[in-house]
Structure 1
């Protein structure tokens, strides 16, 4: 991806990786906002896991590991995007 350099460059304007900035924000932002955003995120993950269970006949954890192994670059990119999205939601509601 052409934006990977932005995500990984420790000297960029964001001053770290998406994960490190998320951790900074989670520990310094308004606790009510962080709690709301994490609850919303977990509810979304719960729905996705239930949907996945309906379509996967095998062990769901094994299916997730296999998919992650086969699509590691895309999974890593998606995780970074989710960190950025969640950080943005927390920051925008904390102002």
Structure 2
């Protein structure tokens, strides 16, 4: 899912960047919920790394860096989307 439209005017929507708002949520939300969502996120990254290793070999760091450098704008938008996605997952379980 892409949240690109939310980033057109970050300061008006978030009162800061998606990264800073995620940090606010992480440090203020229920600790058990944050731990569970971070575990889910890390597990998902682990599976993605396994898929990449199968497709491109063991040197995935270089492949990731090359792809990021070739697609800087898209990588930035995706990064912001992941901040918002993780924040939403935490907040949707909070009181």
Higher helix proportion: 2
Q: Distance in 2 between matches of 1:75 and 1:16?
A: 19
RMSD over equivalenced CA pairs, Å: 1.4
Structure-2-length-normalised TM-score? 0.89
Q: Distance in 1 between matches of 2:29 and 2:58?
A: 40
Give 2:89's aligned residue.
89
Moved over 6 A (4+): none
Give 1:5's aligned residue.
8
Give 1:62's aligned residue.
62
The structural deviation recorded for 1:57 is: 3.2
56-65 or 45-54, which deviates more: 56-65
- Unaligned segments of structure 2, at least 5 residues: none
The structural deviation recorded for 1:60 is: 1.0
Structure-1-length-normalised TM-score? 0.89
- Unaligned segments of structure 1, at least 5 residues: none
